[in-house]
């Protein structure tokens, strides 16, 4: 009597993930954001920078679904193009933070000893500094643009990834496959990047998904304060700034970008939680 074939890891992951309705909803939101960013020129009904002073501060209508701003620009079109800013900042900033965190965490966890102590004390020092205020301090000395925003968010947000990577390396470096690789003459660099790192990526990927939401929220906050992405480049944060200035008679300038930020952050968080639960062997 033949036994049933074992399920592949990918199939087990997908079965667990697909049973989580919140994770599916989060995935739909994230995919929708990608579609809006990629096809923004085809989805947006107007040029986001087109100024029409005769149509300033018009409320939502069939012609302008999200209304217009004080210069008569279509808010819906500006929000569609603003999704590109959010997606770019989130992915690039978290990519920078992940690379730095993986390098520091893997070296600390693999070599241990004084190297581990030195690098972990650096992590502790960084964690004692409020990240948002550190970003504000750095941005104050730089030109506020999207490139500086991405770099600053990335180089101030790697500590969580470093601690995750270190914990995985501390456990994995004692496994038999590492001992076998060392016995075959594989050097430390090869063991770190070819053997241990691929097996340590699961919790890191979950952290990356959650960190994208934080990076988007940080960029929106900086743009809202006027030190992030600068007009006329559209971003959800600087649209909110216009809403603050016209809150008494243009509610749509605050509501729609606020909801976009809310649902985007919720989407990434729900997706990250779903991926974490699907990867957890205890579930």
Looking at residue 74, the DSSP 8-state letter turns out to be B
Return the domain boundaries, the chain.
26-39+66-278
pLDDT tens across the length of the chain (283 residues) = 444 455 676 787 788 888 889 999 999 999 999 999 999 999 999 999 888 888 888 999 999 999 999 889 999 999 999 999 888 888 899 999 999 999 999 999 999 889 999 999 999 998 888 888 888 888 778 777 788 888 888 988 899 999 999 999 998 888 888 888 888 888 888 888 888 888 888 888 888 888 888 888 888 888 888 888 887 888 888 888 888 878 888 899 989 999 999 999 999 999 988 888 887 665 5
Position 4 scores a pLDDT of: 47
CA atoms within 13 A on the CB side of 185: 0
Per-residue pLDDT reduced to its tens digit, 42-88: 999 999 988 888 888 899 999 999 999 988 999 999 999 999 988 88
- Separation of alpha carbons 172 and 114, rounded Å: 19
Q: Shortest CA distance to 253 belongs to which of 76, 85, 130, 90?
A: 76
Tell me the DSSP string of 148-210. HHHHHHHHTS-HHHHHHHHHHHHHHTTSHHHHHHHHTT--HHHIIIIIIGGGGHHHHHHHHHH
Tokens representing residue 97 in the block: 């933070």
Stated pTM of the model = 0.85
What is the tens place of the pLDDT at every residue in 180-190?
Answer: 888 888 888 88
Q: How high is the pLDDT of residue 205?
A: 84
- 198 Cβ contact partners less than 8 Å away, ≥ 6 residues apart: none
CATH number for the domain running over 26-39+66-278: 1.10.3720.10
């Amino acid at each position: 009597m033949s036994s049933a074939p074992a399920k592949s890891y990918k199939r087990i992951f997908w079965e667990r993930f697909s049973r989580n309705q919140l994770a599916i909803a989060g995935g739909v939101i994230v995919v929708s954001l990608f579609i809006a960013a990629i096809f923004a020129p085809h989805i947006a009904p107007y040029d986001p920078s087109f100024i029409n002073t005769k149509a300033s501060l018009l409320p939502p209508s069939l012609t302008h679904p999200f209304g217009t701003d004080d210069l008569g620009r279509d808010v819906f079109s500006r929000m569609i193009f603003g999704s590109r800013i959010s997606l770019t900042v989130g992915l690039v900033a978290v990519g920078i933070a992940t690379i730095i965190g993986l390098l520091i965490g893997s070296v600390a966890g693999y070599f241990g000893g004084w190297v581990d102590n030195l690098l972990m004390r650096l992590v502790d020092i960084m964690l004692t500094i409020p990240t948002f205020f550190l970003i504000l301090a750095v941005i104050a000395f730089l030109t506020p643009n999207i490139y500086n925003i991405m770099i600053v968010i990335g180089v101030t947000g790697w500590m969580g990834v470093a601690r995750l990577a270190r914990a995985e390396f501390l456990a994995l470096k004692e496994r038999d496959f590492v001992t076998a690789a060392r016995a075959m003459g594989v050097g430390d660099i090869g063991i770190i990047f070819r053997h241990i790192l691929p097996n340590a990526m699961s919790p890191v990927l979950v952290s990356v998904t959650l960190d994208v939401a934080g990076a988007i929220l940080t960029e929106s906050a900086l743009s809202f304060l006027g030190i992030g992405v600068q007009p006329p480049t559209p971003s959800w944060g600087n649209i909110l700034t216009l809403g603050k200035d016209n809150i008494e008679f243009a509610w749509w300038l605050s509501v729609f970008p606020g909801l976009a930020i809310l649902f985007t952050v919720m989407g990434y968080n729900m997706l990250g939680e779903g991926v974490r639960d699907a990867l957890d062997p205890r579930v």
